[in-house]
Amino acid sequence: MTSPGGARRFVERAFGEVLGMIERHRQRRSLAALDDHLLRDVGLSRTDARREAEKAFWQQ
């Protein structure tokens, strides 16, 4: 049997993972929306940004 504290930690960790996936997805969409000038400012090419933006939300 699982202790209530163990179940709670599991739910908190799972919830944190889901929030992380949502945040990665949001950041990748934002990266894809940057123009070439801004991408150069952060040291990325359009190809780099596209490659990152095409990753699935669960990939790190």
- 6: tokens are 């163990």
Tell me: pLDDT of 44 over 80. yes
**What whole-number percentage of the chain has pLDDT above 70?**
97
Mean pLDDT score across all residues of the chain: 94
With beta carbons less than 8 A apart as the criterion, state whether 49 and 34 touch: yes
pLDDT for residue 3 = 81
